[in-house]
Amino acid sequence: DTGVSQDPRHKITKRGQNVTFRCDPISEHNRLYWYRQTLGQGPEFLTYFQNEAQLEKSRLLSDRFSAERPKGSFSTLEIQRTEQGDSAMYLCASSPRRGQGFSEQFFGPGTRLTVL
């Protein structure tokens, strides 16, 4: 257990429905990341927050996806009008800030989304 928690762990929804996932990072970490992982593949970067500011967004993050981190603590990832292609594991990670360089990312257990 890395200390990063995600809720729910599993979500089954019907195509066209909206879903929202929550991530609680390690408390002293001010950086938070979302990745998506499909079966047999490595995680793919979606977006990154430093405190409450969303600083990077991948081209994978279509306009149906929105991520927030309103108070610089927990984060939510919402997918609107879900499609079957959205079925994947959604991983959250957090890291401490160490200057401007890269710092180790600690991953949560993920939320597995199945869109029927």
Partner 1 sequence: GESVGLHLPTLSVQEGDNSIINCAYSNSASDYFIWYKQESGKGPQFIIDIRSNMDKRQGQRVTVLLNKTVKHLSLQIAATQPGDSAVYFCAENSRIQGAQKLVFGQGTRLTINP
Q: Does 77 bind partner 1 (CB under 8 A)?
A: no
Quote the least distance from Cβ 16 to partner 1, whole Å.
Answer: 28
By three-state DSSP, how is residue 94 classified? strand
Q: Which stretch binds partner 1 (CB under 8 A): 13-21, 61-69, 76-84, 94-102?
A: 94-102
| Residue 82 vs 105, nearer CB to partner 1 | 105
- For residue 81, give the DSSP letter: S
Q: Are 77 and 61 in contact (CB under 8 A)?
A: no
Omega before residue 8 within 30° of 0, cis: yes
Considering the rule CB under 8 A, would residue 7 count as an interface residue with partner 1?
no
Q: How many residues bind partner 1 (CB under 8 A)?
A: 28
Calculate the alpha carbon distances from 105 to 61, 87, 101 in Å.
20, 24, 12
Q: What are the residues facing 113 on neighbouring strands?
A: 11, 88
Residue 25 is a binding residue for partner 1 (CB under 8 A):
no
Binding positions for partner 1, rule: CB under 8 A:
2, 4, 31, 33, 35, 40-45, 48, 55-56, 58, 91, 93, 95, 100-102, 104-110
